[in-house]
């Protein structure tokens, strides 16, 4: 009899906890919809503490809110909401990355795009972000020169000299040589890296560093 009473008590306690979690969750959802984001986060945390299964539902609420803000053009707020989405459900990081890449592709402001795409690297990966960056800048500078760097020695790409400017995108570090001077160039997936040249014309050469990579280059001759 005592055992039956104990089991009944546990069942009632579990039901009460779940009900309390649902009530807090509804409050949190309403706060999120009204734009009271700090309070919403606190309520979601309280609800989930009593009912961990609500994690996924909270993530979906934040994802829906982020999509609305993207449509409204409030991109940076949408990014913040996506961070909460992934916090509550890491499995949604891929979809969050897709949304960021899509949003970044449609932006005209280079600075804003850079801030948005920075967040996409973790969720979408370097190679996908690099591809999106190439497409965005090709829309402004024209087609990039594509060079596949593998372990086959130096690849020569014309000559550069005084006043020439090179900009490149690469998902991995590469080596660059003009004349006898060799330097290691960092990866650049979010925005292009710029290199300025001086002195007499010399051959411009590239070599992979640790891994094969496709290098995307724009050369702007001196004016």
Look over the chain and give the mean of its residue pLDDT values, rounded to a whole number: 88
DSSP 213: E
Q: Note the pLDDT tens digit of each residue in 71-81.
A: 999 999 999 99
Q: Note the pLDDT tens digit of each residue in 172-191.
A: 999 998 877 889 999 999 99
C-alpha separations of 9 from 2, 15, 180 in Å: 11, 10, 81
pTM (predicted TM-score): 0.81
Distance separating alpha carbons of residues 206 and 169, to the nearest angstrom: 13
Residue with tokens 């640790």: 210
Q: Note the pLDDT tens digit of each residue in 98-148.
A: 999 999 999 999 999 999 999 999 999 998 999 999 999 999 999 999 999
pLDDT, greater one: 4 or 153 = 153
pLDDT value of residue 147: 92
- Considering only CA atoms, which of 204, 139, 140, 197 is closest in space to residue 174? 204
CB 128 within 8 A of CB 171: no
pLDDT value of residue 9: 37
Q: Note the pLDDT tens digit of each residue in 21-61.
A: 578 899 999 999 999 999 999 999 999 998 889 999 999 99
Domains of the chain: 17-124 (1.25.40), 141-220 (2.60.120.10)
DSSP string, 136-170: HHHHHH-PPEEEEE-SS--EEEEEE-TT-EEEEEE
Residue 196's SS3 state is strand
pLDDT value of residue 12: 38
pLDDT value of residue 23: 86
Distance separating alpha carbons of residues 24 and 18, to the nearest angstrom: 10
Distance separating alpha carbons of residues 159 and 164, to the nearest angstrom: 10
pLDDT value of residue 181: 82
CB 88 within 8 A of CB 58: yes
DSSP 53: G
pLDDT value of residue 21: 52
What residues contact 161, with CB distance under 8 A and at least 6 apart?
197, 198, 199, 200, 201, 202, 222
């Amino acid at each position: 009899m005592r055992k039956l009473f104990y089991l009944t008590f546990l069942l009632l306690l579990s039901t009460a906890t779940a009900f309390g979690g649902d009530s807090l969750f509804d409050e949190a959802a309403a706060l999120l919809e009204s734009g009271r984001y700090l309070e919403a986060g606190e309520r979601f945390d309280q609800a989930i503490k009593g009912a961990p299964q609500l994690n996924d539902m909270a993530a979906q609420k934040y994802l829906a809110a982020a999509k609305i803000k993207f449509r409204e053009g409030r991109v940076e707020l949408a990014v913040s909401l996506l961070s909460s989405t992934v916090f509550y459900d890491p499995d949604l990081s891929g979809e969050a990355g897709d949304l960021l890449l899509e949003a970044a592709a449609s932006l005209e402001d280079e600075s804003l795009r850079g801030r948005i795409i920075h967040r996409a690297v973790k969720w979408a990966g370097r190679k996908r972000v690099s591809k999106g960056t190439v497409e965005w800048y090709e829309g402004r500078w024209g087609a990039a020169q594509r060079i596949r760097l593998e372990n086959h020695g130096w690849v020569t790409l014309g000559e550069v000299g005084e006043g020439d400017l090179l900009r490149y995108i690469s998902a991995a570090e590469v080596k660059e040589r003009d004349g006898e001077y060799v330097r290691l160039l960092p990866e650049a997936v979010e925005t292009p890296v710029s290199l300025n040249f001086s002195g007499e014309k010399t051959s411009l050469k590239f070599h992979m560093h640790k891994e094969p990579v496709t290098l995307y280059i724009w050369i702007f001759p001196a004016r």
